[in-house]
Amino acid sequence: MAENSFEPKIMGFLCQWCSYTGADLAGTSRMQYPPNICVTRVMCSGRVDLTFVADALADGADGVLIAGCHPGDCHYSEGNFRTMRRYSMLLNLLDQFGVEKERVRLEWISASEGEKFAKVVTEMAESLKTLGPLNWKERSANYCGAL
Amino acid sequence: MVNLTVDGRKVEAEQDWTVLDAARVAGVHIPTLCHHESLPPYGACRFCTVEVTQRGRTRMHTSCTLPVKEGMVVSTASKSVHKIRRMLAELMLARCPDSEPVIKLAAELGVHESRFPYPRVGKSLKIGEDEDCIMCGMCVRICDDVMKVGALAFEGRGGLRSVTTPFHEPSEVCRLCGACESICPTGTIRQRRIADQEPREIPFEFEQGLARRKPISLLFPQAVPKVPVIDANTCMNFKTDGCKICEDNCEAGAIDHSQKDRTESVNVGAIVVATGFDMFDAEDIPRYGYGRYPNVITSLEFERLSHASGPTGGKILKKDGTTPKSVGIIHCVGSRDVNHQEYCSRVCCMYSLKFAHLVKEKTEAEVYNFYIDMRAFGKGYEEFYKRLLSEDVNFIRGKVAEVTDVAFAPEEKDKLVVVAEDTLFGMVRRIPVEMVVLSAGLKPGGDADQVAHLFSLGRGSDGFFLEKHPKLAPVDTVNDGIFVAGACQSPKDIPDSVAQGAAAGAGALSLIDRGSVVLEPITANINPDLCGGCKICVSNCSFSAVEYNPDKGVSEVHEELCKGCGTCVAGCPSGAAQQSNFEDRQILSEIKGILS
By CA distance, what is B563's nearest residue in A? A76
CA-wise closest residue to B360 among B385, B315, B393: B393
Q: Considering CB atoms only, which of A40, A47, A61 is closest to B569?
A: A47
Q: Using CA atoms, how far apart are residues B114 and B93, in angstroms rounded to an integer? A: 6
Q: Would you call B595 an interface residue with chain A, using a CB distance cutoff of 8 Å?
A: yes
With an 8 Å Cβ cutoff, are B570 and A47 in contact?
A: yes
H, E, C per residue of B10-72: EEEECCCCEHHHHHHHCCCCCCCCCCCCCCCCCCCCCCCEEEEEECCEEEEEECCCCECCCCC
How do the domains of chain B map onto residue ranges?
Answer: 2-77, 138-195, 279-443, 457-511, 524-595
Q: Considering CB atoms only, which of A11, A59, A82 is closest to B571?
A: A82
With an 8 Å Cβ cutoff, are B591 and A49 in contact?
A: no
With an 8 Å Cβ cutoff, are B591 and A40 in contact?
A: yes
Q: Would you call B565 an interface residue with chain A, using a CB distance cutoff of 8 Å?
A: yes
Q: Would you call B458 an interface residue with chain A, using a CB distance cutoff of 8 Å?
A: yes
With an 8 Å Cβ cutoff, are B542 and A77 in contact?
A: yes
Predicted local distance difference test score (pLDDT) of residue B125: 53
SS3 B205: coil
* B contacts of A43 (beta carbons < 8 Å): 522, 564-566, 579, 582
* A contacts of B579 (beta carbons < 8 Å): 43, 47
B127 pLDDT band (50/70/90 cuts)?
very low
A1 pLDDT band (50/70/90 cuts)?
very low
By CA distance, what is B524's nearest residue in A? A47
Q: Which domains does chain A have, with CATH numbers?
A: 10-146 (3.40.50)
* Rounded-to-5 percentages of helix, strand, coil across chain A: 50, 15, 35
With an 8 Å Cβ cutoff, are B542 and A79 in contact?
A: yes
Q: Would you call A7 an interface residue with chain B, using a CB distance cutoff of 8 Å?
A: no
With an 8 Å Cβ cutoff, are B595 and A56 in contact?
A: yes
Count, residues in chain A:
147
Predicted local distance difference test score (pLDDT) of residue A3: 56
Which of A18, A50, A76, A89 is best to mutate for the B interface (most B CBs within 10 A)? A76
B129 pLDDT band (50/70/90 cuts)?
very low
Q: Would you call B362 an interface residue with chain A, using a CB distance cutoff of 8 Å?
A: no
Residue B525: enclosing H or E segment and its boundaries? strand B524-526
- Looking at CA atoms only, how far is residue B270 from chain A in angstroms? 21
CA-wise closest residue to B85 among B20, B31, B18: B31
Rounded percentage of chain A residues whose pLDDT exceeds 90: 69
With an 8 Å Cβ cutoff, are B587 and A43 in contact?
A: no
Segment B392-406 mean pLDDT: 96
With an 8 Å Cβ cutoff, are A82 and B540 in contact?
A: yes
**B117 burial level (CB within 10 Å; 0-12, 13-18, 19+):** exposed
Residue-wise pLDDT tens digits, B531-571: 999 999 999 998 889 999 999 999 999 998 888 999 999 99
- Looking at CA atoms only, how far is residue B460 from chain A in angstroms? 11
Residue-wise pLDDT tens digits, B282-326: 999 999 999 999 999 999 999 999 999 899 999 999 999 999 999
Q: Considering CB atoms only, which of A11, A43, A51 is closest to B565?
A: A43
* A contacts of B586 (beta carbons < 8 Å): none
Segment B246-257 mean pLDDT: 90
Segment B227-241 mean pLDDT: 91
Residue B124 has pLDDT above 70, yes or no: no
* B contacts of A18 (beta carbons < 8 Å): none
State yes or no: ipTM above 0.85. yes
CATH code for the part of the protein at B2-77 = 3.10.20.740
Is residue B537 within 8 Å of residue B572, measured between CB atoms? yes
CA-wise closest residue to A4 among A137, A128, A138, A136: A128
Predicted local distance difference test score (pLDDT) of residue A2: 45
Q: Give the residue ranges of DSSP H helices in A29-135.
A: 50-58, 79-97, 114-131
Residue B95 has pLDDT above 60, yes or no: yes
Per-position b or e across B193-205, b if 16+ CB within 10 A of its CB: bbbeeeeeebebe
- Number of Cβ pairs < 8 A linking chain A and chain B: 79
- Looking at CA atoms only, how far is residue A120 from chain B in angstroms? 20
B128 pLDDT band (50/70/90 cuts)?
very low
Torsion sign (Cα): B555, B558, B561, B563: positive
For residue B173, how many other CB atoms are within 10 A of its CB? 14
- Looking at CA atoms only, how far is residue A53 from chain B in angstroms? 9
Give the CATH number of domain B524-595; options: 3.40.640.10, 3.30.70.20, 3.40.50.10470, 1.10.150.120: 3.30.70.20
Question: Which positions 17-76 of A are in contact with B (Cβ < 8 Å)?
Answer: 38, 40, 42-44, 46-52, 55-56, 59-61, 75-76
**Of A15-19, B66-70, B92-96, minimum mean pLDDT range:** B92-96
Predicted local distance difference test score (pLDDT) of residue B120: 60
For residue A137, how many other CB atoms are within 10 A of its CB? 10
SS3 B553: coil
Predicted local distance difference test score (pLDDT) of residue A126: 95
Which of A66, A74, A77, A136 is best to mutate for the B interface (most B CBs within 10 A)? A77
Q: Would you call B177 an interface residue with chain A, using a CB distance cutoff of 8 Å?
A: no
Q: Would you call B564 an interface residue with chain A, using a CB distance cutoff of 8 Å?
A: yes
- Looking at CA atoms only, how far is residue B553 from chain A in angstroms? 24
With an 8 Å Cβ cutoff, are B540 and A48 in contact?
A: no
**B355 burial level (CB within 10 Å; 0-12, 13-18, 19+):** buried
CATH code for the part of the protein at B279-443 = 3.50.50.60
